[in-house]
């Protein structure tokens, strides 16, 4: 089990949170996605460590940006 | 044909705009809903003049607020 917290820029409301959760949740092996709107913190729990590029791609697919 | 512009508070992103358009668009007789996110201006076009209470209810159903 692995959990990593990323920071996502551009989320402004609950719909944005839902979009990010949906896209990141579709990455194979991801078991939970927790998002805190105010800080942009996105904690991704997965069966094995994820490639950050996959998380970045999912966040961008949702229309937001992963901070470096 | 009737068109009225209201101001809606609380919309922060394109998802919010979609929610308002969807709910207001379901009011019987409404033929178009145009939303400008930056100003909150929502222009509702309908076959006959609408009861403002109906528009207010739809906006609140979407999770936002009609300014007085």
Give the model confidence (pLDDT) of B23-32 as tens digits. 999 999 999 9
Predicted complex ipTM: 0.75
Instruction: Give yes or no for A38 touching B (CB within 8 A).
Output: no
Give the model confidence (pLDDT) of A28-50 as tens digits. 999 999 999 999 999 999 999 99
Token pair, residue A54, equals 């996959």
Partners of A7 in the beta sheet? A41
CB spacing of B16 vs A15 below 8 angstroms? yes
Burial code (b: 16+ CB inside 10 Å, e: under 16) for A32-43 equals ebebeeeebebe
Instruction: Give yes or no for B38 touching A (CB within 8 A).
Output: no
Q: Which residues contact A27 (CB under 8 A, 6 or more apart)?
A: A44, A46, A50, A54, A55, A58
Instruction: Give yes or no for A12 touching B (CB within 8 A).
Output: yes
What domains are defined for chain B?
A: 2-66 (3.30.70.100)
């Amino acid at each position: 089990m692995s959990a990593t917290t990323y920071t996502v820029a551009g989320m402004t409301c609950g719909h944005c949170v839902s979009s990010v959760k949906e896209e990141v949740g579709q990455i194979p092996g991801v078991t939970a996605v927790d998002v805190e709107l105010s800080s942009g913190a996105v904690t991704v729990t997965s069966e094995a460590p994820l490639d950050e590029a996959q998380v970045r791609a999912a966040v961008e697919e949702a229309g937001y940006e992963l901070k470096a």
